[in-house]
Amino acid sequence: MIAAVICLLPALGSYFAMLTERSDTSLPIRTVEWIRSHGMRSFVDQVENFYYSFNAPPKGGKPLKALPKQVGTAVGRLGRALKVSYYRPPNIAPVIHPALPGEGVWRAPFMGDRSDPPVLITSYRPEPQYPQLVAGVAWINTSQTTTVLYPGIQEPSVALPNRGPEEVPMDMRSRLVATFNAGFKLADSGGGFALDGHAYAPMKDGQGTLIRYTNGRIDLIDWTGGPNVPSNVAWATQNLPLIVDGGKPNPNLSNGPQWGATLGNAIMVWRSAIGIDRHGDLIYAAANYQTVGSLAQIMIHAGAVRAMELDINSYWPSFITYRYPGAKDPANLLPDMVRSPYRYLTPDDRDFFAVYLNR
């Protein structure tokens, strides 16, 4: 008995050390993450796979009578009436008919003094077999905004000379229009992470890579540049192979093990993704009960020519818009997103993106 207790002491010490670490993650989630990282990954994965498979939604059922409420002002009809000269993406075509009011119609959530919205959001039902599922989609105008990648308290788990504020800096909030989650933990993605021309985690060829250059251009690419990044890279982050390339789904999505180190590609769960359209603008999407294949179809339907999966599971996906300058009146893209819309206005465990208006 005494020997057993002695053997447990290092584990108990590690667990209590985890409890004292600075973190914004709930204790149950932190405990599961700790168990996974201490030799029980396979067990936790099996439990999660069973849970999500058992709770997968049945096909069919009564369709929704209305979409979940989203913030902002519908811009589809207004844009046609004004004959706007700047680019605005077309509304997302409904997949299920008859369409619900406002389905696929872009809304402008930011009420700053601008005629060309920097961010648009919408929602639609992506799967006729599951008429109660709703995907949230956001479009980010990259010519009017700058997207910044911020390290969190714990992720990426690399030694950085300065982790920064780990939240949206106070002096930048007057220009803030959106924030959203990044990808998996580095231990799960196996990808790279770079800031200011230096790869703090080696880049991996064949990985989807969201990258911003020092000239302000942002892109989403299949990385082929080796472990390091050139000096003109402001930041770059990787998260598994691209799920969409050339406007088509990756052919390995149906049976490839790459997407989801913990849950795999076929479990129906909350998933998020980032993509880029043919104009070079960003598209974000998130929805519950998605496989990686169905997530790719959402991105393609929304106009992405390339896309990569971001974080998954209900606790991690966040896309937050801010109604007024100063990060005021924040709102989640979908009302059933778990995390508070005030996430990222205080230090967060995970790395994340903030979208700012250009001056």
Strand ranges of the sheet holding 198-201, from the earlier edge strand across to the other edge: 198-201, 193-195, 233-238, 208-213, 218-222
Q: Is the pLDDT of residue 330 over 60?
A: yes
Report the mean per-residue pLDDT for the chain.
Answer: 87
Span 90-102, average pLDDT: 95
350, two tokens: 């995970």
In the chain, domain spans: 2-54, 135-357
55, two tokens: 């709770």
pTM over 0.85: yes
Question: Can you spell out the DSSP letters for 229-255?
Answer: --TTEEEEEE-SS-SEETTEE-TTTTT
Q: How many alpha carbons lie under 13 Å from residue 292 in its C-beta half-sphere?
A: 28
pLDDT band at 85 (very low <50, low <70, confident <90, very high): low
Span 6-14, average pLDDT: 57
**Which of 6-20, 106-120, 330-344 is the least confident region?**
6-20
CA distances from residue 130 to 41, 144, 253 in whole angstroms, order as listed: 31, 36, 20
Q: What is the spatial distance between Cα 214 and Cα 12, in angstroms, rounded to a whole number?
A: 46
30, two tokens: 């932190």
Query: What one-letter code names the amino acid at 352?
Result: F
**Which percentage of the chain shows pLDDT scores above 70?**
81
DSSP class of 95: S
- H helices present in the chain, as ranges: 2-20, 27-35, 41-54, 76-82, 186-189, 292-301
pLDDT band at 79 (very low <50, low <70, confident <90, very high): very low
pLDDT one-digit tens code per residue, 105-123? 999 999 876 678 999 999 9
pLDDT one-digit tens code per residue, 15-49? 656 666 778 788 777 776 767 665 666 665 666 66
**Residues contacting 228, CB < 8 A, separation 6+:** 199, 202, 203
